[in-house]
Chain A
């Protein structure tokens, strides 16, 4: 009969162990895994924009070099870039971040402003952007960026227009300092920056009629950056 002791006690211990360890405990439900989100340039999953590195330049045409401010051009630029950083972090849910450096001195162009400017500023001034970026690159002033970071050249220009294309944006310095642009100046600056990621305009270039209410459309001129946003549809093209 003693031989039954061990099995009986084993059964008791097992039952008690089961009560202690598992009775009433439910298993954690495991959801099927979803693909990791990858934040990338507009409609370009091969170009990650997790880290965006901006190098900002102040570019002055040769004929305006004498009138260029000594260092006061930096302050509004820093303010605009800081606002852009915060805005970007909110819009991208922290999945993409901006860092920036400012080229310390103004870059004096080789040509007068007539060379860079155009009469057709409805489309920004892509000619100036192209010419100036080429000139900066040729001068050896282009800053190096961290490996893997998405590189952006952001140019404050003592001329006319505002424009943006992949990896480069240009904005008339007046937009940042003229009181006429008031509360929307940071929105304008940000609008041009987002073109560097490939985001298109949210308005009809021919008529000027907005097709979106966000920063890329109506919001660029009607809302301050702190109340602005990027539309869901736009963010979806960026991997969000």
Chain B
């Protein structure tokens, strides 16, 4: 039941529903659009920021690598002061190599090779120490320390090109071999200078590079071999040249970090990352900056969450406030409807208080004015009816009295023809008197002038009195009148009522029971006691009424369509009876079954004694 009421409260008003949906649509569309747009642009902006940071970092690392090789190759770019096309003196070679080792810690071994591909001098650093081991070919010696004539580290520089070997993994760390031609003053190539270079410090620097909390940089050589990674795992070896991203960069492309394919699963740690990458010029290496999504988006996730919370809060507020706003708008209209129904029910003193300060308040005031006008009209009508009925009663009563005298022969014997004329006069005047009396009763009541004197009274004597008065009438109709008076020692408790009005009501109910009964029927009167009331039932054995008839039975001037038109009645008796009982604090009801009979009941408040 509560759920039904709640449902009706929430959804029971089509206008309110319309307002609610209107508000929701009006407020949610911009809220959602704003939230979606904000999140989209925040994400787009962040994506560009991430890509810019990665690209910036890559450029820094490329500059670092270029600087390293520029410094190293710069140190190896030797041009001797003489013009002879002969190798450097052996003693000078040793001196030159010693200088190179001391100049750059990255040099692990340096060697000079003559144009026949024979190593003529070499100097090897002993670990990280400053000391080195020199091996020199004696002056004028035709032999050699090592024959490198078929190795690319010799053939390329001998042809005039600088040689940069592949990066190689060793137990000492990553190494690379560089070789360059040695020129004389005329620019002739007189020897080749080769060096084994440690890349450990360079790669350590690159490996320590960090983006945010967990972003890192990966370095692949020109064969697609991973040569630098921050992860403490053995080098991951080759095979990356066939991987899409590395192959793309090796082929001359780049990863901007903004494309769809730049969000991928990392090769090295299998985490989702946002990646950007470029090729290192001259070396052909590939540098990839990878930033795990969870870390890169941590800031944006917080921001997105805030926007999302704000959007959800707005939606919640709209969903909560929309019904309240709608209620605020529809409440005056519902008030007007309620008041209109009250006026329809005859409660013309109904008024409403709408304080919206707008047209609705104005409408409410106009409604109150209308209600007052209707009430005044009713008062005038009641007064008019009261006056008319009051003025009509005396002459009609006189006519009835005269007709009775004529009918009864009191003023002389009438011939049959005259009797036939007098009879309808008597019947009509009698009906008119009853009608005028009833109308006067109603008008008096509606004008608030009906006098009811409530006191403690006993019902039984009144019932017995009514029975006595109507017994002859009942006899004429061959109806038995029975009163089931309370028997035994316990008398019927007193009730609070007006004796005259109770008798009036009883007369109405009992006479109706007689009038609308069948021949040889009965009218039975009995009482029922409740803790607070005494209910008096008048039951007949007539033909009964339908539910539809029962619903209108107590309305003014209502007469059942199935009534015998020969039976006198004004249609006001039950209306008056109901009005009187209610004015005495009781209620009236009817229960009827077609073909079985009808029971009219009225209750009156009882004393506790």
Binding site for B on A (CB under 8 A): 1-2, 4-5, 8, 12, 15-16, 19-20, 23-24, 26-32, 34, 37, 83, 86-87, 89-95, 204, 208-214, 217-218, 222, 225-229, 231-232, 235-236, 240
Contacts and interface: CB of A to CB of B under 8 A. Distances in A.
B237 interface: yes
Contact of B237 (A95, A208, A211): A95
B260 A208 contact: no
A209 B147 contact: yes
A4 B21 contact: yes
Contacts of A232: 166, 223, 225, 238
23 contacts: A4-B17, A15-B32, A23-B39, A24-B39, A24-B304, A27-B260, A30-B264, A34-B239, A90-B235, A92-B237, A93-B169, A93-B235, A94-B233, A95-B237, A208-B147, A210-B146, A211-B150, A226-B170, A226-B171, A227-B171, A231-B166, A235-B238, A240-B239
Contacts of B25: 8
A13 B90 CA distance: 85
Contacts of B166: 231-232
B182 to A, nearest CB: 19
Given A15-B36, A217-B151, 6 more contacts: A1-B17, A19-B39, A29-B262, A90-B171, A222-B146, A240-B238
B392 interface: no
B108 interface: yes
A214 B35 CA distance: 62
B264 A227 contact: no
A185 to B, nearest CB: 15
Nearest to B225: A232
A87 B28 CA distance: 67
Contacts of B177: 213
Contacts of B146: 210, 218, 222
B171 A210 contact: no
B11 interface: yes
A110 to B, nearest CB: 39
B265 A28 contact: yes
Interface string B150-177: 1101000000000001101111100101
Contacts of B18: 1
Nearest to A15: B32
A24 to B, nearest CB: 3
A225 to B, nearest CB: 7
Interface of B: 11, 14, 17-18, 20-21, 24-25, 28, 32, 35-36, 39-40, 42-43, 108-109, 146-151, 153, 165-166, 168-172, 175, 177, 196, 223, 225, 233-239, 242-245, 260-265, 272, 300, 304, 308, 311-312, 315, 319
Interface centre among A15, A30, A231, A240 (most CB of B within 10 A): A15
Nearest to A94: B234
Nearest to A226: B171
Given A16-B315, A19-B39, A24-B42, A31 B243 contact: yes
A114 B235 CA distance: 46
Given A86-B171, A240-B238, A26 B263 contact: yes
Contacts of A92: 237
Nearest to B145: A222
Contacts of A226: 170-172
Given A15-B32, A93-B237, A225-B171, A2 B17 contact: yes
Contact of B43 (A24, A27, A235): A24
Nearest to A36: B239
Contacts of B147: 208-210
A214 B165 CA distance: 12
Nearest to A208: B147
Contacts of B308: 19-20
A46 B225 CA distance: 24
Contacts of B235: 90, 93
Given A23-B39, A90-B169, A212-B151, A5 B21 contact: yes
Contacts of A31: 243-245, 264-265
A226 B170 CA distance: 6
B263 A27 contact: yes
A227 B196 contact: yes
B148 A210 contact: yes
Given A213-B153, A232-B223, A23 B40 contact: yes
A8 to B, nearest CB: 6
Contacts of B319: 12
Contacts of B108: 227
A2 B9 CA distance: 12
A20 B311 CA distance: 10
B444 to A, nearest CB: 49
A20 B301 CA distance: 11
Interface centre among A89, A93, A226 (most CB of B within 10 A): A93
A216 to B, nearest CB: 13
A24 B315 CA distance: 20
A34 B177 CA distance: 31
Contact of B315 (A2, A12, A90): A12
Contact of A211 (B35, B151, B223): B151
